[in-house]
Amino acid sequence: MESNTRRTFLQGFLALLTALGASGVLYPLVRYLAPRSSANNGNLVQIPLDRLAEGDAKFFDYAGRAAVLVKLSGGAVVVRSAVCTHLGCIVQWQKEKGQFLCPCHAGLYGVDGRVLSGPPPKPLEAIPFTIADGVARVG
């Protein structure tokens, strides 16, 4: 009788360990494959424009992704996703050339986000923003 109780306990314990191991493997896999929400979930990024010189770029995190604000001559401002549309690398701002460079495969984007050369299949995504009292508000 005691042997049967021990066997039942060991079988239950083994089943529990198997379930824990399976969840330890499946949870990260499901999180990786599940699409992230594209909504910014109430995130508001505020960037004072007086801290940027003409031609400067400010990289920041927006809704869980890299984004960039560029202050152009004449005070114009553009805000784009900083994630390359080819393989997801973070682009770099080349102030002297007025363009974005993807360091992974040399993709080039204009300041307006359009593809100038290289492998990127789509332009950089535009991110909506407003300007009030010298502060750019993204989100």
Q: Decide which of 40 and 76 is more confident.
A: 76
pLDDT at 80 over 90: yes
pLDDT, position 40:
46
Calpha distance 69→16 (Å, rounded): 51
27 pLDDT above the threshold of 50: yes
CATH number, domain 45-138: 2.102.10.10
> 18-32, 33-47, 70-84: lowest mean pLDDT where?
33-47
Whole-number pLDDT of residue 63: 85
Max Cα–Cα distance, the chain, nearest Å: 88
Does residue 39 carry a pLDDT above 60? Answer: no
